[in-house]
Amino acid sequence: MAEKKNTCDLFDCGHRACGGCGEALAARLVMQAAGTETIVVNATGCMEVFSTPYPETAWKVPWIHSLFENAAAVASGIEASLKKQGRKEKVVIMAGDGATFDIGMICISGAFERGHDFAYICYDNEAYMNTGIQRSGATPYDASTTTSPAGKCSFGNKLPKKDMPAILAAHGAPYVATASVAYPADLMQKIERAINTPGPCYVQVHVPCCTGWGFEGDQTVAIAKLAIETGLWVNFEMVDGKVTKVKKVVRKPVTEYLKTQKRFRHLFKPKLQETEIAAIQAIADRNAEKYGLDIKLPPKKE
């Protein structure tokens, strides 16, 4: 783990993220793990907008933004150039779930296929938050967004969350992991490993968005923790396509997580939607079975 630093961060103060932003927290932690010998490629998204309103920038490392869809392609070019010049800087891509799951998919697939040496960090806040909370491929089942609004005819987003780690593991990525801002030490360890593993590596970071999900800014970490404790987010590591490490939990019912956020409010008010909640519980149960999440407690002694 990176040593405790007392100086100012590589992702500095004064950026325009909302108070309690999970993304800003993730950016800080990623930069703490990555260190100064890093070139950051940012896709369009909240992070790009709030950290670099011209002529200001919160970044203290070389940073480039080109378009929404081509972060992986830009990083490929930088990596190839560094290699040709014999330089040792590491290339880190920071992209949101929209840029990763939907818009950037072609460039990502190409870059992973070519096997460039970079770390692709996807900060997953489960919708297009910057443009006003539109659903993306990462939006969970039944979440209300502005393009999948809950109302008389709908309970929100009807489609399941895309399994991006599996897609990139299938490309032959040597290291794929998921992490959460609720466990900063684990997050930084995974980022370091992704950066130091040769080849294209992928880390998907769960970052609660207080504005888009509808909760108070001080609850960011508590909600990220609940996502893991209910089994709706799984922290795992995949090496060469095989799951090697999973964060196990004593699972809580999914309602503990759902009731904390306005995007799921329609499941509780005006009346409790038991079928919908059962469907979400089934997603958590499937995760638990797939990854072996549950801690088996020894039977109580009499």
Partner 1 sequence: MAVAVGCRARPGKSRDNKTGSWRVFKPVFDHEKCSKCGMCRTLCPEGCIHEDAGGFFDPDYSFCKGCGLCATECPKEAITMKLEEK
For partner 1, the binding residues (CB under 8 A) are: 4, 6, 8-9, 11-22, 24-25, 28-29, 51-52, 54-61, 181, 184, 216-222
Q: How far is the CB of 140 from partner 1 (least distance, A)?
A: 22
- Measured from the CB atom, the residue of 124 and 276 that comes closer to partner 1 is 124
Alpha-helix residue ranges (DSSP H) falling in 160-243: 164-170, 184-196, 210-213, 220-229
Amino acid sitting at position 254: V
Q: How far is the CB of 281 from partner 1 (least distance, A)?
A: 27
Which long-range CB contacts under 8 A does 57-63 form with residues at least 24 apart?
Answer: 58/11, 58/12, 58/13, 58/14, 58/15, 58/27, 59/10, 59/11, 59/12, 59/31, 60/8, 60/9, 60/10, 60/11, 60/12, 60/36, 61/10, 61/31, 61/34, 61/36, 62/38, 62/89, 63/39
Q: How far is the CB of 199 from partner 1 (least distance, A)?
A: 29
Alpha-carbon distance of 176 to 179, in angstroms, equals: 10
Please count the other Cβ atoms lying within 10 Å of the Cβ belonging to residue 38. Answer: 20
Q: How far is the CB of 73 from partner 1 (least distance, A)?
A: 16
Alpha-helix residue ranges (DSSP H) falling in 35-94: 46-51, 71-85
- Measured from the CB atom, the residue of 2 and 105 that comes closer to partner 1 is 2
Residues ≥6 apart with Cβ < 8 Å to 298: none
Q: How far is the CB of 188 from partner 1 (least distance, A)?
A: 9
- Measured from the CB atom, the residue of 55 and 298 that comes closer to partner 1 is 55
Q: How far is the CB of 206 from partner 1 (least distance, A)?
A: 15
- Measured from the CB atom, the residue of 9 and 285 that comes closer to partner 1 is 9
- Measured from the CB atom, the residue of 204 and 220 that comes closer to partner 1 is 220
- Measured from the CB atom, the residue of 34 and 293 that comes closer to partner 1 is 34
Q: How far is the CB of 62 from partner 1 (least distance, A)?
A: 9
- Measured from the CB atom, the residue of 54 and 151 that comes closer to partner 1 is 54
Alpha-carbon distance of 185 to 267, in angstroms, equals: 34
